[in-house]
Amino acid sequence: MREIHLISNGKQSLESFSRVAQTVQAYVSYIHLREKHRTDEELLTWINELTKVGILKDKLIINDRVEVAVRMEVKGIQLTTHSEGVASVREAHPNLLIGQSVHSLEEAKKAEDEGANYIIFGHIYRTNSKPGLKPRGLEQLQKLVQSIEIPVIAIGGITPERVEGVMNCGAKGIAVMSGLIEAENPKEEVKCYLGGVL
């Protein structure tokens, strides 16, 4: 079944994001906390509060903050080009699920070679979160998927209508921010992203 990764957008309150996360948890593979502007202590609070309302630690992935992820014993870490390298994180924490955000085939191959479990690649379509930047498109996505062995999660401007095109390129799944966070009915919207496959 296709994976769906819900990613926080750094703009919501804990209460607001928590409501969405609770609503869609049963339908998504992972829930990413991508809260660059928050302190480690704030992130610890977020994780504690989310788990109190039933969000599983096995579904939580923390963006960039390796020590927070390890301390809170969540599922994994999502690294960026500015983070600690995959190889050193893998060596120190062999059981951690490690994702790497990449924007090129070269970065993807490096992440794979260093021990990443999966990559997030994008942006595939035009998106308001990347204004003025040309999308990478389906052709680049397909080429990248065919060039590495680890799973590829596509991100960027992916609406329910575009999911099939992305999956046909060989992606393992999709990552969604505003598409679920800003949806009037996140539960119904996530079902649309799944294409009725429940």
118 bridge partner residues:
99
DSSP string, 103-156: SSHHHHHHHHHHT-SEEEEE--S--TTSTTPPP-HHHHHHHHHHH-SS-EEEES
**106, 147 contact by CB (below 8 A):** no
Neighbours of 40 (CB within 10 A): 11
Using only C-alpha atoms, the chain has a radius of gyration, in whole angstroms, of 16
Q: Which residues are catalytic?
A: 123
Q: Which of 190, 184, 181, 179 is nearest to 12 (CA)?
A: 181
